[in-house]
Amino acid sequence: MSWRKVKLGELVDNFSVRAKDVGGAEGLEFFGVSNEDGIIKTKYAAEEKAEDYKIIEKDCFAYNPYRVNVGSIGLVKEDIKGLISPAYVVFKPKPKSIKAELLLKFLKSSEGLRQIIFYARGTVRQALRFEDLCNIELSLPDYDEQEKIFKKLNFVKIESDVLSTELIHQLTLVKKLRQQLLQDAVQGKLVKQNQKDEPANELLEKIKAEKEKLIKDKKLKKEKELPPIKAEEIPFEIPENWIWCRLGDLGSFRRGPFGSALTVGIFVKEGYKVYEQRNAIYDNHTLGNYFVTKEKFQELKAFSVFPKDLIVSCSGATLGRIAEIPEGAREGIINQALMRITLFNAAIINSFFIKIFRSPYFQKNILGQAWGTAIPNMVGLVEIKKILIPLPPLSEQHRIVQKIEQLMQTCNELEESIKQSAEQNEKLLQQVLREALKPKEENEQPLSIAAEPKETYKKESIIKIPALQEKEEKHFVKRKVLATYIINQSLDDSKFGDVKFEKLLHLSDYIAIKRNLGQNYYQKAAGPYDNGFTIQYFNQVLKDKWFNRSKIGNKFVFSVGQNHSKSKNTYNFFSEDELKRVNELINYFKKYDYEQPEIISTLYAVWNNRIIIQQKITDDNLINDFYSWDEKKNKYDKNRLEKAIQWMRDKNLIPDGWGKLIEKPKKK
């Protein structure tokens, strides 16, 4: 087999053919390029300028020179002819030079993207012109051998897709199994009944006695009695020693304060905690950064929460999420988006109630009581309290909880095994793609990137040299998990976008994690930016549909993608303390738009730089360095920077010299 190393310019021709030069644009459709779907039809075209548009046809490649660095390049595979913006670069492989589909795979691979980024021009907005594209290098065999390789790759891809589909199906089955286990628990089908257990109807008598005592002691207000349960209301049969009751029989309920009782103006830096929706959503009592004074707390004490209280999300897509306030949690109050439930534990234990609350039966009832279509809201406690609850004996509640936890652990293990299989399947596919064009007759060991001069690494192709060594691959995977964690923890932040993400990643790397994971930050207008990682990261997670990323105004925002569930596993790469510090950083900036994290991230970088190179540190020095970072920093006035430096001291976000010096990118 004959292999040769060539520049792409030897294999392709610029295909800059305008419609007006070949008979006009009449009858031709308009196309664009997506980084996920390649060549696609588009409605966003200047039809009045159609004659100036470029022609694309079978085997044509097209890309926007400003978007190709995120994998936005496409290939026309069908026998069609159409129009594409004159701003796009269009080219075609020369006859019998390189298989078009193989070239596409290479250009969208990590090595292809690395070379695209390397040869692109510009600082703020990089662009890859056709003559820049021609500098990209790769090794390849003769055309007939390329045909064989392509057939092999297609076969492997089909097999991999079949397996991937099956694994996704298995994950869906495990999810359904979890729901069925909870449903069986609600219906008394999960564990055997024991006739020696105290019947559940006696529990209700205990509740009645406890309520009367609390009312007498003025610790509970007397409420209107709930209506008796009618036979036609009962949705399914339960064991003989169970009993049907209403939700309101089992505890006291309170919605958070409505109206203007809790507004941004009353919050303070430290004081009594205000529990938020995300505390229930993420089952984490430490999240949030809103506090009220002692005086305001006393005024709103009716909304206090205590250890063993349950909090429930009352609005939006997370309606019905529930969490328990543990021992040692901060004293505080619930906000308007939460409901507090205090159970009578003489009759029902928290852990059992939480399990049945999360069951399909109960969640369906909660949604049934909600109002609103786009954003469902739980409003009336009167109707919520009427929901029917099947109550087992207290001893059986404990047995049910123990059984559920055992079975859920089995589900966790099944899920983890399936995910590992999916990950291995993807790794094998990527390995086949990497090795497909690797010269088989070469006996030389793969060159170590770390040991090679930079210039050699920049010009070698992944086809001859692995793009990343195993250690570097692991580093990327860990940072991918970290970046994904930051996005997932910020999805409820309406002010979260690209810039905020980039700055939170920088601060997490340098403050919360402090591990050498191949970070390579440079000075960009908006602050420290590791574009080598970020571009590859977005290319992967958007392609895998973990997230959607859309532009609203001048900001890119994130939303849950089709395969979002795959993004939630942290694989224990980071300790609980590390993730807690990341969460603290996220929460510090929740109420701010992109400007505050940009300022803090940049100030942290210049401060840390001075520590590394042992320069004098004063507030004036830091502010001067901030303005010298980039001319666009002049939009921030000095007074704001002085306040930001003090804010960093208050939050203990003080650099210690860890990490690399962050400098301006070297000019090419």
Of 423, 659, 657, the closest CA to residue 518 belongs to 659
214-230 pLDDT, tens digit per residue, is 888 877 777 788 899 99
Nearest-angstrom CA–CA distance, 493 and 555: 13
pLDDT at residue number 561: 87
Q: Among 416, 579, 570, which residue's Cα sits nearest to residue 480?
A: 570
- Of residues 466 and 267, the one with the higher pLDDT is 267
Task: Answer whether residue 352 shows pLDDT above 50.
Answer: yes
Q: Are 215 and 222 in contact (CB under 8 A)?
A: yes
Q: Got the DSSP string for 289-317?
A: --EE-HHHHHHTGGGEE-TT-EEEE-BGG
Distance CA 315, CA 341 (A): 16
- Of the CA atoms within 13 Å of residue 338, those in its CB half-sphere come to 28
pLDDT value for 667:
61
Q: Please say if the pLDDT value at position 484 is more than 90.
A: yes
| Sheet with 272-275: strands ordered across | 291-292, 272-275, 332-334, 304-305
CB 332 within 8 A of CB 273: yes
Burial of 430 (0-12, 13-18, 19+ CB in 10 A): middle
pLDDT per residue as tens digits for the range 288-324: 888 999 999 999 999 999 999 999 988 777 788 899 9
Angle (deg, nearest 10), helices 595-612 and 638-650: 70
**DSSP one-letter code for 123:** S
* Least confident among 43-47, 486-490, 558-562: 43-47
**Which pLDDT band, with edges at 50, 70 and 90, does 377 fall under?**
low
Residues with Cβ within 8 Å of 355's Cβ and at least 6 positions away in sequence, in order, are 182, 185, 400, 401, 404
How many Cβ atoms sit within 10 Å of the Cβ of residue 620? 10
For the chain, the average pLDDT equals 85
Closest CA to 7 of 98, 131, 135, 130: 135
Per-residue confidence (pLDDT) for residue 449, from 0 to 100: 25
pLDDT in tens, 514-558: 888 889 999 999 999 998 899 888 888 888 889 888 777 667 788
More confidently predicted of 576 and 90? 90
Q: Is the pLDDT of residue 504 over 70?
A: yes
In this prediction, residue 244 carries a pLDDT of: 94
Residue 457 has pLDDT above 70, yes or no: no
pTM: 0.54
Q: Name which residue leads in pLDDT, 467 or 612.
A: 612
- 126 pLDDT band, cuts 50/70/90, is confident
Quote the percentage of the chain above a pLDDT of 90: 43
C-beta neighbour count of 359 within 10 angstroms: 19
Share of the chain above pLDDT 70, in %: 90
CA distance 242 to 393: 6
Angstrom distances, CA of residue 55 to CA of 28, 129, 567, 589? 9, 18, 40, 48
CA angle 329, 349, 258 (to 5 degrees): 55
> For 169-221, what is each residue's pLDDT tens digit?
888 888 899 999 999 999 999 999 998 999 898 888 888 888 888 888 877 77
Q: How many residues does the chain have?
A: 668
| Among the listed residues 135, 384, 121, the one whose alpha carbon sits nearest the alpha carbon of residue 250 | 384
CA-closest candidate to residue 193, choices 245, 248, 250, 237:
237
pLDDT at 398: 95
3-state DSSP of 344-355? CCCCCCHHHHHH
Torsion of CA 216, 218, 221, 227, to 10 degrees: -20
Q: What is the pLDDT of residue 370?
A: 63
Greater confidence, 397 or 372?
Answer: 397
Return the pLDDT at 519.
92
Whether 468 has a pLDDT exceeding 50, the answer reads no
Strands (E), 314-385: 322-324, 332-334, 338-343
pLDDT reported for residue 378: 62
